[in-house]
Copies of this chain bind each other. A is one copy, B any other.
Amino acid sequence: MHSWVDGQPADSVPLKDRGLAYGDGLFETIAVKAGQPVLLDRHLQRLAEGCRRLALVADHALVRSEVLAYATALGDGVLKLILTRGDSLRGYGINPGAPVRRILQGSPPAAYSQAHGADGIRLFPCVTRLSEQPLLAGLKHLNRLEQVIARAEWQDAEHAEGLMLDMSGRVIEGVFSNLFLVRNGVLLTADLNRCGVAGVMRAEILAQAQALGTPVVVADISLEQLQSADEVFVCNSVYGIWPVRDCAAMSWPVGPLTRKLQGIVRTLLDI
C-alpha cells in the first residue's frame, strides 16, 4: 500500500528532514487486523509521551485520525508511523513549535514462523551492550544504531531474537522485543529508566498479569536471576509472545504463565 506523508500519498521525504539528518523523531510499529490498529491507545500514549520528552509538537488528534484511516485502507498488516521534527537548515538547533512531519507506511503481515510461538525460541547472546541515557530511555526514537549492530551479530535462522544487556551487565531486553521472567510465581521485567524501549505489548502484558492477580515486578535484572528463572518469554506488538527455550548455556522450560499470557495476547492480536 502507498505510504502517506502529512496525509498525502508520497514515497519520499526531503533531504532536509531531521529524521534523516539526526534521527530526530519517534516511531510506532502497529499490528493491523481487519482494518483495526491493535493496542492503538497504548501506541498513541507512548508516542505522546515521547513527543513531550523530545519537545516534538504534534497534532495528536490528527495523528490518530490518520492512523485509523490508513489502517482501514491497509486491512491486515503492519503499520509503521514515524514522526520527525520536520525540516532544518544546518545545525542541531531546533525551531520550537515547528510541526512534526507525519509518515505512515504499510506492509503485509509479519512472516514469522508459527513455531516461534508454539515451541519457543533461542536467544542469541549479543555482545553489543545498550548504552545508558536516561533522557532517551523508554522512547521508541529513531536513533537505533545499537539495535542495527546487535541484530547483525547473528545470521543463522536458529536464533529468532537476541538478548541485550546494558553497559553495567543488567538484563534489559531483546533487539526488537521486551523480555519477561517468571520466578516463584512473580512476573518480572526490566526497569527501563536508563535504556531500552518501553514496549506497548510489555505494558499490555503487565496490565493483563495484574488483572489475573499475578504479582508483577519492574526492577533491575541480573544474569543470575535470568539463569534461575522458571520461565522466560519475549514480546512485541506485532508477534505477541514467544516463549524462550534457551540462550547460550542457559535454558528454560515453556511454562504455564507464559502459555496463559500467550493465549490472552493471541486473542488481542487475532493470531
- A interface residues with partner B (beta carbon < 8 Å): 3, 5, 10-24, 27, 29, 54-55, 78, 80, 82, 84-85, 89-94, 96, 103, 105, 107, 110, 128-129, 131-133, 135-136, 141-152, 167, 175-176
Contact = CB atoms under 8 A, between A and B. Distances in A.
B20 A151 contact: no
A160 B143 CA distance: 26
A141 B131 contact: no
A141 B132 contact: no
Given A131-B133, A176-B91, A145 B20 contact: no
B22 A147 contact: yes
Nearest to A154: B93
B132 A167 contact: yes
A132 B132 contact: yes
19 contacts: A11-B15, A12-B15, A19-B20, A20-B142, A22-B143, A55-B152, A78-B90, A91-B151, A92-B144, A92-B175, A92-B176, A93-B151, A129-B133, A133-B167, A135-B149, A136-B146, A141-B145, A143-B143, A143-B144
Enumerate the 6 nearest inter-chain pairs by beta-carbon distance, A residue then B residue, closest first.
Answer: A23-B23, A143-B143, A12-B12, A131-B133, A92-B151, A131-B131
Nearest to A149: B135
A196 B261 CA distance: 43
Nearest to A144: B22
Contacts of A136: 131, 145-146, 149
Nearest to A150: B92
Contacts of A146: 133, 135-136
B54 A149 contact: yes
Contact of A82 (B20, B141, B152): B20
B13 A20 contact: yes
Nearest to A167: B132
A50 to B, nearest CB: 11
B20 A15 contact: no
A90 B80 contact: yes
Nearest to A175: B92
